[in-house]
Structure 1
Amino acid sequence: MTEEQAKELLQKYLNKQASPQEQKKVEEWYATLDQENIELAADRKAAIGEQMLVHLQDAMRQKPKGSQVFKLQPFIRIAATVLIIITLGISIWKLNIPVKPENQVTIVTGSTERKHITLSDGSVVLLGPSAKLCYPKTFASNNRQIALKEGEAFFDITHQEKRPFTVHTASGVDIRVLGTSFKVKSYQASKHIEVAVITGKVAVSNKKVNLGTLIKDEFLIYDKTAGRADIGKSKSATYIELAFDGASLEQVISKLQYAYSIKILLNDNALAKLKTTASFSSKQSPEEILDIICSLHHLKFNGSKNHKTFNIYR
Structure 2
Amino acid sequence: MTEEQAKELLQKYLDQQANPEEQKIVEEWYATLQAKNIVLPADQKAEIGQQMFIQLKAAMYKEPKRIKVIKLQTFGKIAAAVLIVISMGLSVWKISNQTKPAGNQVTIITGVKEQKRITLSDGSVVLLGPAAKLCYPKAFASNNRQIELKEGEAFFDIAHQEKRPFTVHTASGIDIRVLGTSFKVKSYRASKQFEVAVVTGKVAVSNKNGKLGTLVKDEILTYDKSVGRAAIGKIKALAFVEFAFDGATLEQVINKLQYTYSIKILLNDVTLAKLKTTASFSSRQSPEEILDIICSLHHLKFNTSKNPKTFNIYR
Give TM class, smaller chain.
0.5 to 0.7
> d(CA) in 2 for partners of 1:167 and 1:309?
29
Deviation digits for residues 236-286 of structure 1, max 9, x if unmatched? 542211221221111110010011111001111111111111111111111
* Unpaired segments ≥5 residues, structure 1: 1-99
Secondary structure of the 2:290 match is helix
> In the TM superposition, what is the alpha-carbon distance from 1:307 to its structure 2 partner?
2.4
Partner of 2:83: none
Partner of 1:288: 289
> In the TM superposition, what is the alpha-carbon distance from 1:294 to its structure 2 partner?
0.6
Normalising by structure 2, report the TM-score: 0.67
> d(CA) in 2 for partners of 1:267 and 1:101?
50
Percent of paired sites with the same residue: 81
Q: Please list, as runs of the form range in 1=range in 2, the aligned pairs for 1:58-207 lying within 5 A after superposition.
A: 101-207=102-208
Partner of 1:278: 279
Partner of 1:299: 300
Secondary structure of the 2:232 match is strand
The code of the aligned residue for 2:273 comes to A
The code of the aligned residue for 2:260 comes to A
The code of the aligned residue for 1:149 comes to K
Q: Please list, as runs of the form range in 1=range in 2, the aligned pairs for 1:38-77 lying within 5 A after superposition.
A: none
Does the CA contact (< 8 Å) of 2:199 and 2:237 recur in 1? no
> d(CA) in 1 for partners of 2:264 and 2:237?
25
Secondary structure of the 1:256 match is helix
Secondary structure of the 2:111 match is coil
> In the TM superposition, what is the alpha-carbon distance from 1:295 to its structure 2 partner?
0.6
> d(CA) in 2 for partners of 1:155 and 1:123?
7
> In the TM superposition, what is the alpha-carbon distance from 1:169 to its structure 2 partner?
0.2
Secondary structure of the 2:312 match is strand
* RMSD (CA atoms): 1.2
Deviation digits for residues 94-117 of structure 1, max 9, x if unmatched? xxxxxx951101111111111111
Secondary structure of the 2:271 match is helix
Aligned length: 215
- 1:241 counterpart = 2:245: no
Q: Please list, as runs of the form range in 1=range in 2, the aligned pairs for 1:11-26 lying within 5 A after superposition.
A: none
> In the TM superposition, what is the alpha-carbon distance from 1:183 to its structure 2 partner?
0.4
Over 3 Å counting, the alpha-carbon distance change for 1:262 and 1:126 in structure 2 is: same
The code of the aligned residue for 1:216 comes to K
Partner of 2:229: 228
The code of the aligned residue for 2:186 comes to K
Secondary structure of the 1:160 match is coil
Partner of 2:312: 311
> d(CA) in 2 for partners of 1:167 and 1:133?
10
Q: Please list, as runs of the form range in 1=range in 2, the aligned pairs for 1:255-270 lying within 5 A after superposition.
A: 255-270=256-271
> d(CA) in 2 for partners of 1:247 and 1:122?
16
Secondary structure of the 1:212 match is strand
Partner of 2:61: none
Normalising by structure 1, report the TM-score: 0.67
> In the TM superposition, what is the alpha-carbon distance from 1:304 to its structure 2 partner?
2.1
* Unpaired segments ≥5 residues, structure 2: 1-100
Does the CA contact (< 8 Å) of 2:223 and 2:231 recur in 1? yes
Deviation digits for residues 199-236 of structure 1, max 9, x if unmatched? 00000000111000000000000111111101000035
Secondary structure of the 1:291 match is helix
> d(CA) in 2 for partners of 1:299 and 1:129?
47
